[in-house]
């Protein structure tokens, strides 16, 4: 029985790897490899979005913060739900129009078609930086689970996991990842909710939690409401330029499928985020001196070997569904927006496909090794989202305010992005989240520069409306 968790995890990972290898012959061109040929169904879109958004931050991170702080840890994921709604309401049709009119396959490409090449390069840096930060912690998180089971060092296990991430990405592409994520989503939901229910029963029920822990554990505004709101709103705005949600538009069979997938995935996150937090809170009562970073596994171990295996599978499902997806996003972005956009502007399809795979190998190994020194997985995610929120804010203003042009958008994104990154890497001075100063600076730059535009309707906005009209006619023609 002692080896049961290891057996469960090994079998599970073998099944997911087999699913990925099934699609190796189906990825014979760059579009099939990167965006699944634009043919994903609603279940596949929901599973892809949900599993990518949860990751290790939504399982290990939420449980860790639940153990140390309480239920306020859920706001990182609840902000994603808000972001999915924002995306559908404000910018979903923009990305669909850019994809239909110009054949774009990445966020930076869409920004170039609306604005100019300079804005595309700003987005390239932001996307690579943000998703590089998010990806870098995934192999380390998986290694923390697998290393003790296999009796190897965390460093060695991190490298092994990084290699497996690369293999899954290079072999399966978007089709393989989306198919794996259907299984991952089911395992995540089943495993985490079962452990949360049993942990609460083991403690003695909700009243025991209330009687034992400080009232702050049950407050959703920790450490303060200003920080909480910044986390939620910053995450929501960041999703306006998230390759995760944008990929749903490019990979789904239709814009209706993409929109429905975003909304369903967003609302699936709301109850899910509570479960790991509850496990962490129960752990604070059961094992107050335990290590916060591994509390989700420690609590499951109190229930028996089978439940240790089940929670390990759920955590690995969260990580395994996210790591390859993030890696594919980074490698596709670098290929489309740097290799194709700068180095070789007219590559063959085979050259583009090979470049994407090569970048996946380099980034997959390099970022994972750099991520071994990272701190809180949840903190890394929130910081990355604060940086990306700037470009989302500029986009939504540009779509609704006709005066915004390339010049104002470029300087607002560049200066606002520098402030966001500097504030985050500087440790959030004065205890203020990076979103507030970054958003303020972005608007301070964007508004005056846009007002100096002599054209009441910018050429950029005219280009956007033309793409919308073109898309509308294309959709009518299909009917």
Residue 216 domain-assigned (yes or no): yes
257-289 pLDDT tens trace: 888 888 888 888 888 888 888 999 999 999 888
89: domain CATH number is 1.20.1730.10
What DSSP designation does 372 have? G
**pTM beyond 0.75, yes or no:** no
How many Å apart are CA 192 and CA 127, to the nearest integer? 30
Residue 428 domain-assigned (yes or no): no
pLDDT at 462: 93
The model's confidence at residue 378, banded by pLDDT at 50, 70 and 90, is low
Boundaries of domain holding 251 = 4-385
Tokens of 312: 């390990």
DSSP string, 73-139: GGHHHHHHHHHHHHIIIIIHHHHHHHHHHH---SHHHHHHHHS-HHHHHHHHHHHHHHHHHHHHTHH
- Decide if 449 contacts 408 (C-beta within 8 A): yes
How many Å apart are CA 231 and CA 36, to the nearest integer? 32
100-121 pLDDT tens trace: 888 887 788 889 999 988 998 8
Residue 431 domain-assigned (yes or no): no
Find the DSSP H helices in 204-254: 206-212, 225-238, 243-251
320-363 pLDDT tens trace: 777 787 788 788 888 877 887 778 777 777 888 888 888 888 88
Strand partners, 252: 40
CA 41 remoteness from chain centre: 20
How many Å apart are CA 321 and CA 318, to the nearest integer? 5
The structural domain count of the chain equals 1
What DSSP designation does 341 have? I
Task: Tell me which of 75-89, 100-114, 318-332, 432-446 is least confident.
Answer: 318-332
Strand partners, 40: 252
Residue 66 domain-assigned (yes or no): yes
In the chain, the percentage of residues whose pLDDT exceeds 90 is 15
**Torsion of the alpha carbons at 271, 277, 279 and 282, rounded to the nearest 10:** -120
Residue 396 domain-assigned (yes or no): no
- 286-310 residues labelled b (16+ CB within 10 A) or e (exposed): beeeeebbbbbbbbbbebebebbbb
């Amino acid at each position: 029985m002692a080896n049961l968790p290891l057996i469960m995890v090994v079998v599970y990972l073998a099944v997911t790897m087999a699913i990925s290898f099934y699609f190796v012959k189906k990825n014979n061109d760059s579009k099939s490899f990167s965006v699944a040929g634009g043919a994903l169904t609603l279940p596949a879109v929901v599973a892809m979005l949900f599993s990518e958004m949860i990751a290790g931050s939504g399982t290990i991170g939420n449980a860790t913060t639940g153990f140390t702080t309480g239920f306020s840890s859920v706001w990182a994921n609840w902000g994603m739900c808000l972001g999915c709604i924002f995306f559908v309401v404000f910018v979903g049709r923009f990305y669909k129009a850019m994809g239909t009119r110009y054949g774009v396959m990445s966020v930076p490409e869409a920004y170039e078609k609306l604005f100019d090449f300079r804005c595309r390069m700003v987005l390239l840096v932001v996307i690579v930086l943000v998703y590089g930060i998010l990806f870098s912690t995934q192999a380390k998180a998986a290694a923390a689970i697998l290393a003790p089971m296999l009796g190897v060092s965390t460093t060695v296990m991190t490298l092994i996991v990084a290699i497996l991430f690369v293999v899954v990405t290079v072999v399966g592409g978007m089709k393989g990842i989306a198919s794996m994520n259907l299984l991952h989503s089911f395992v995540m939901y089943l495993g985490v909710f079962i452990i949360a229910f049993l942990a609460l029963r083991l403690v003695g029920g909700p009243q025991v939690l209330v009687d034992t822990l400080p009232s702050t554990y049950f407050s959703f505004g920790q450490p303060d409401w200003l920080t909480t709101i910044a986390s939620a709103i910053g995450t929501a705005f960041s999703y306006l330029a998230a390759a995760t949600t944008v990929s749903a538009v490019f990979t789904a069979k239709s814009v209706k499928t993409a929109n429905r997938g975003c909304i369903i995935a967003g609302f699936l996150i709301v109850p899910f985020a509570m479960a790991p937090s509850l496990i962490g809170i129960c752990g604070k009562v059961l094992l107050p001196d335990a290590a916060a970073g591994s509390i989700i596994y420690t609590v499951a171990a109190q229930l028996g070997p089978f439940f240790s295996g089940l929670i390990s599978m759920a955590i690995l499902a969260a990580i395994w569904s996210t790591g390859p997806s993030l890696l594919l996003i980074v490698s596709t972005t670098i290929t489309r927006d740097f290799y194709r956009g700068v180095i070789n502007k007219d590559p063959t399809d085979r050259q583009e496909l090979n470049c994407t795979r090569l970048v996946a190998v380099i980034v997959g190994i390099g970022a994972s090794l750099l991520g071994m020194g990272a701190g809180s997985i949840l903190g890394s995610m929130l910081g990355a989202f604060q940086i990306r929120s700037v470009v989302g804010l500029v986009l939504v203003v540009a779509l609704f305010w006709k005066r915004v042009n390339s010049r104002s958008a470029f300087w607002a994104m560049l200066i606002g992005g520098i402030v966001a990154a500097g504030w985050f890497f500087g440790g959030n001075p004065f205890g203020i989240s990076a979103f507030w100063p970054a958003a303020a600076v972005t608007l301070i730059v964007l508004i005056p520069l846009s007002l100096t535009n002599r054209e009441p309707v910018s050429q950029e906005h005219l280009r956007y409306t033309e793409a919308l009209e073109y898309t509308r006619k294309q959709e009518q023609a299909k009917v």
